[in-house]
Amino acid sequence: MKPTNQLTELSIKQAKPKEKQYKLTDGEGMYLRVYPNGSKYWQLQYWFDGKQKILSIGVWPNISLKDAREKRYEAKKKIKDGINPIEEKRKERQDHLDRAHEDKLEAQKKTITFRKVAEEWHKRQTNRWGEKHTIDVLNSLKYHVYPDFGERPISDITKQDVIENLRKLESEGKYETCYRVMQRLVTIFEYAEIEEHCIGNPARGLQKIFTKPQPKHHAFLPISELPVFMKKMEDDSGAFPTTKLAMMFMIHVFVRTNSLRQAMWNDFNLECDEPLWIVPDYDMKNGIELHVPLSSQSVKILEDMKLFSGPDGFVFPQVRNPQKAMSENTLLYFSNRLGYAGRNTVHGFRTVASTSLHNSERWKHEVVEKQMSHLVGTKVSRAYNKAEHLNKRREMLQWWSNYVDSLLVL
């Protein structure tokens, strides 16, 4: 057996560099490698899994002779226990780098405020929103959210922070505002999660603890007045053709106004036997994607619309700025100009269609409600019932379009 602990601090200090590097052995596989530039490095040679390995221990004099021997002892013990000290060292180095990276990210998160993320999210939505809605959303954040935690790191905001913020609005009786702000906070924190600015969504799941605003009753025309309305619309020479087409499309498909305004051509599949419009979840009030079967009349309206706006971008864009969706008030102002101010709203066509379909007694309640994108039943029952009723809804929408056409010839 080769002798151990052959070196001394003095012999190491006195070791002079040579033209070529050389080794000073201390025993048990450890030696000091002396380089021509005078540098001295501790190394340990050992066998692991039938292969020779060399572990770098450190630089002398940073690692003294005593320290080097202790490290040799620790390495030998690990080898005996079946642990490769080189692999362990590599893992420790990687763990250190990972921790450093995580610490850096954490420090960066502290500089990312709620306001910064909210305005980044807001900027990404503006092309899909009308000018008024864009301003309304930003103002609701400026007046109702930013004063409480706009300048705080978004990763530090808790569910309790959000609850306290919303309770101020609720205590003032601003139930509608409270609910809208809550929905916007949910969406902003979802965006923040995706961008890895925070973990979890503190605004999610709060609906049950706040007073739900009373539903608005939208003015609507009785079905008996619909023929006159459509005739006035057809005869109006002052409206843009795109406005008329959008209004007729609304009557035929009776979706929510925002879903119609935000419709994009790539949401439609018209080149098939069963044309379909897939309304994305982010354009739906309830956040659930809706499949809208299209009647032959609806397809014809879209084909006419393509002459003005297609085949890319918004289906119903602004006339003066095609890069933006039709203003949320365009159809309402058109209806008002026809003489129906206070008597009819665009949303009211949903009521007309729903009432007529139910009164016809041809269609099951759940089929009509699915097309209306209303949530039917309890949360538990909805979790198990994923029925789309697509074939029945296709039949129903074609029947409704035929019925609307029949009113025009009365």
- 256 as an active site residue: the answer is yes
- 389 as an active site residue: the answer is no
Provide the phi-psi class of 106: left if phi over 0, else alpha when psi is between -120 and 50, else beta: alpha
Residue with tokens 């008024």: 132
Identify the sign of the CA torsion 269, 270, 276, 281: positive
- 218 as an active site residue: the answer is no
Cα 1 to Cα 291: distance, rounded to the nearest angstrom:
82
Active-site pick, 2, 51, 216, 384: 384
Residue with tokens 């420090």: 107
- 53 as an active site residue: the answer is no
- 347 as an active site residue: the answer is yes
34 within 8 A of 24, measured Cβ to Cβ: yes
| Nearest residue to 251 (alpha-carbon basis) of 46, 32, 400 | 400
Quick one: angle between helices 296-306 and 241-253, nearest 10? Answer: 160
Active-site pick, 244, 256, 261, 324: 256
Active-site pick, 33, 142, 174, 374: 374
365 within 8 A of 358, measured Cβ to Cβ: yes
Distances (CA, A) of 313 to 128, 173, 263, 326, 386: 10, 40, 9, 12, 31
Active-site pick, 18, 285, 365, 382: 285
Active-site pick, 350, 370, 389, 394: 350
DSSP 276-333: EEEE-GGGSTTS--EEEE--HHHHHHHHHHHTTT-SSSBSSB-SS-TTSBPPTTHHHH
Q: E strands of 132-198, at which residues?
A: none
- 291 as an active site residue: the answer is no
Active-site pick, 252, 347, 393, 394: 347
Long-range contact list for 22-27, CB < 8 A, 24+ apart? 26/65, 26/68, 26/69, 26/72, 27/2, 27/3
Active site residues: 256, 285, 347, 350, 374, 384
